[in-house]
Amino acid sequence: MVQYPSRLMTVADNGVVFGVKQGTGMVRAEKDGHQSEYATIIIGEAPDAIVDSVSIDIQETELSPGTTTTVGATAKFDDGSSRDVTESVTWHLNNASATGVIKIEGEVLTALKAGEVHVRASLDGVTSNNVSVVVDNVHYVEVAAAPYTFTTPASHNVGDVIEMTVTGVDHDGKHHELAAGQYTFDIDNPAVLRENDEGNLEVIGVGGASARAKVNDIAAMLPYAVNAK
C-alpha cells in the first residue's frame, strides 16, 4: 500500500487508513508488481465531542455577606474526555428568592446578602447538579474602623475622601473585613461629613464632625473626627 503525502495518513497492514492531520491525500494498492489506481482521501476536521454531563463544585457553601469562594465546572464528553468548562458554562439560580443573594464572575462567587441559593450550570443544553449555598448574617460582638482619631481631629479640606477599613469580630474572635453596605456611620454633623457609595467618608463642608462605624447596634469604640476648612 502506498500513500501520498505520508504526513497526512498512515495505512495499517490490513488496509485501514488512519488520518493524521487535515488535508487531501492519495492512496493505491500494490501487489506482485501490479498497481491499482490512486484513490483520493480527504481528511477533515474531527467532529466536536458531545457533552455527556456537567458537574459543579463550590469550595464553600456557607458564607457571610461580603465573603467570596471559588466555583468550578467540569464537563465529561462522549469521547471519554473531560475538561474544566468554568468559563464556558451559564450559571443559574433556580429559586425565586435568590435574586441579589450572590453573584458569580468567572471562578469567584461573592455573597451579597442573607438568603439561600440553589446553583447549577449548563453547557450545550446539558444541566449540572444543584448545589445549595447559604448566606447568613454574622453576628458581631465588636466593630473597629481604621483610620481613627483619639483626641485631636484630623485636618481636611472640602472634597477629601478618607478611605475606611471596617472590621467586625464574631463570637469566635474571628475578624471579618466588611464591605460597603455591611456597615453604616453615625455622623454627628452631616453638613461636614457623609458616607459615599464605596463605604468611605467624604468631606463635604467646612467645620467639625466625627463619624463612628456601626453594624446593627454595635458601634466602633473610636471615631474618626475631622476639622475641615
CATH 2.60.40.1080 residue spans of the chain: 51-135, 140-228
How confident is residue 6, by pLDDT bands cut at 50, 70 and 90?
Answer: low
Type of residue at 226: V
Q: What is the pLDDT of residues 55-113, one digit of tens each?
A: 999 988 888 888 889 999 999 998 888 999 999 999 998 765 667 889 999 899 998 88
Fold of 51-135: Immunoglobulin-like (2.60.40)
Cα 197 from chain centroid (whole Å): 22
Taking 60 as the threshold, does the pLDDT of residue 2 lie above it? no
Q: What is the pLDDT of residues 153-197, one digit of tens each?
A: 999 999 999 999 999 998 888 888 888 888 999 999 999 999 999
- Between the alpha carbon of residue 149 and those of residues 160, 209, 220, the distances in Å are 16, 12, 12
Question: Of the given ranges (18-32, 137-151, 187-201), which has the lowest mean pLDDT?
Answer: 18-32
CATH of domain 140-228: 2.60.40.1080
For residue 185, give the C-alpha cell.
456611620
Question: Of the given ranges (120-134, 171-185, 213-227), which has the lowest mean pLDDT?
Answer: 171-185
**Closest of 56, 27, 58, 59 to residue 40, by C-alpha:** 27
pLDDT of residue 96: 57
Rounded distance between C-alpha atoms, residue 136 and residue 171, angstroms: 15
For residue 162, give the C-alpha cell.
478618607
- Between the alpha carbon of residue 68 and those of residues 72, 84, 129, the distances in Å are 13, 20, 21
pTM value is 0.48
